[in-house]
Amino acid sequence: MLRFLLALNIVWFFICLVIYNIVGMDPAHFWLFSIASLFIPVVFFINLLLLLFWLLFRWNHAWLPLLTIAVGWNPLLLMFSFGEPETSRKCQRDPVSIMSYNVFGLKQLRDSTEARTQMKKSRFTSFVRQYEPDILCVQEDNFFADGVINQSGIYPYFHYLIQHGAAIYSKYPILDKGRIDFGTRTNSCLWVDLLMGGKTIRVYSLHLQSNQVGRELTAIASDDKMNRGDAKMTTFRSALRKYKRNAIIRSEQARSVAEHAASSGVPCILAGDFNDTPFSNSYKILARNRSDSFLECGNGVGSTYTGLLPGLRIDYVLSDDQYIGFCSHKVLHTNFSDHNPILAKFYLK
């Protein structure tokens, strides 16, 4: 029996090699690879279980899952962070705080009565005032959410366009502003040039293409007798088709943002909801030659999404590592949205 399990473990080792080597691959070339990379956290925990199993029952075979973990160490480094604490010397250089938050239109604030709605609005504005980020990058903004954020009275400068979900609120003067047209209303990208200490810094607030498979995932997880067998398989295929299409769109959007930032001529910060994990092609494109606030200063796994697939890290703050450094990263746990906001602090080098 143990020989058979060892043979399976050897096969599993080669499967892991394939998965590790497809991290960040362009979904336009082979989109199934982009799905496989989503399972890297699962792969890691399976290998931990295999390591424990062999240590308990045949310790001299434990080298195999240990080797599997070692070979995939670089992708695993995108999962975990044990960065420096906020009290590091870096944070003594007059840091600037930035928050990235997909507010989901602040739909959670709406209630059956005006009094309860006002109470929830007050809670949100108190939350913003508590942390008072110098720059607030918002995704899935709308008239309602924009009005609530402005009630905080913190931001004299802002960039928000009608029917474009991204927005940027700032304590620093805006020298220039614009948008990158993704061709949709919900998913969008706005940018501003901010004057900070005599220097110009460009900040992007971006919301890449959503997977739009929520309905399918709910149907697949349902125990409804009318949704079993062939019906569930049809739903599963529909989810795969949507994922394929949207993964390719996300990569194209990420490429547009990266090219736009490269041509700006000034240091850039990219903040937003990428709708993709750190193992994706879109993250790989946007993180090239940039620092990730979580990897620099975060702790643990840094998950930001609390929706249908909780535990995912799909919200990020990235910066040009040559000009901008991070000294703090926190994920703030709230119930105002299906995302938790990121609060990072950075300094100019």
Residue ranges of domains in the chain: 2-76, 81-348
- The pLDDT score that the predictor gives to residue 228 is 61
Q: Give the Cα separation of 146 and 166 in Å (integer).
A: 10
Identify which has the larger pLDDT, 138 or 243.
138
Q: Global pTM?
A: 0.90
DSSP reduced 3-state for 156 = coil
Q: How would residue 32 be classed by pLDDT, with cut points 50, 70 and 90?
A: confident
- The pLDDT score that the predictor gives to residue 25 is 86
Q: Give the Cα separation of 338 and 322 in Å (integer).
A: 33
Identify which has the larger pLDDT, 69 or 239.
69
> Is 274's pLDDT higher than 90?
yes
Residue 97: φ, ψ to 5°: -95, 140
Q: Give the Cα separation of 341 and 343 in Å (integer).
A: 7
- The pLDDT score that the predictor gives to residue 145 is 94
DSSP-H helix ranges across the chain: 2-21, 31-36, 40-57, 63-71, 73-76, 114-131, 143-150, 214-221, 230-262, 281-287, 293-297
- The pLDDT score that the predictor gives to residue 239 is 75
**Quick check: 70 and 47 in contact, CB under 8 A?**
no
Length of the chain: 349
* From 41-45, 102-106, 135-139, the region with the lowest mean pLDDT: 41-45
pLDDT tens figures, 167-215: 999 999 999 999 999 988 779 999 999 999 899 999 999 999 988 666 6
Range 81-348 classified under CATH 3.60.10.10: yes
Identify which has the larger pLDDT, 256 or 310.
256
**End-to-end Cα spacing for the chain:** 59
- The pLDDT score that the predictor gives to residue 149 is 95
**Quick check: 175 and 194 in contact, CB under 8 A?**
yes
pLDDT tens figures, 75-130: 888 988 887 655 456 677 789 999 999 999 999 998 888 999 999 999 999 999 99
* From 14-18, 125-129, 289-293, the region with the lowest mean pLDDT: 14-18
Average pLDDT, the chain: 89
